[in-house]
Amino acid sequence: MTDNITKTQRSYIMSQIRGTRTKPELIVKEIIDGRKLRYQPKGIPERPDFANKSKKIALFIDGCFWHKCPRCYKPPKSNRKYWKAKVERNTKRDKRVNRKLKKQGWTVIRFWEHQVKENKSHIIKKLTNNSKQNKNSPSVSTA
């Protein structure tokens, strides 16, 4: 199927998509204020959205489109080959990052964009439980 908009319009639309300081990240930033998780911390492998270095907790907020949420993802109708490859690279990278951080002793927590928007109390509960967890037992947790 062909695109209904011009190349210039598509370029503009894509340029407006944020890579950092996204709405879900800012919502989580408000939720975790005072919970000792730093937003976009420096010097941590694989650049989590939030992290606590001393407890080795890494938190990622995954966009439903960009990371292929099983509930929300709908493949685009145009340029399918490109988008399929792009999203597959993202999901493979997510798995690689999870393995690498876990191997280094980190607890990895991932929330989907829709979870952040729909259920803030679940996020607080999950973060509270993980911050109490023994840091010697790393895990990967998808909420």
List pLDDT tens digits, range 3-51.
Answer: 677 878 766 766 666 566 788 888 888 888 767 788 888 888 889 999 9
Task: Give the pair of three-digit tokens for residue 106.
Answer: 């980190």
One-letter amino acid at 13 equals I
Look at the pTM and tell me if it is higher than 0.85: no
Distances (CA, A) of 140 to 56, 95, 96, 106, 128: 12, 10, 12, 8, 15
CA–chain centroid gap for 3, Å, is: 28
Distance between CA atoms of residues 74 and 123, nearest Å: 24
Which positions ≥6 away from 134 have C-beta within 8 Å? none
Domains observed in the chain: 19-142 (3.40.960.10)
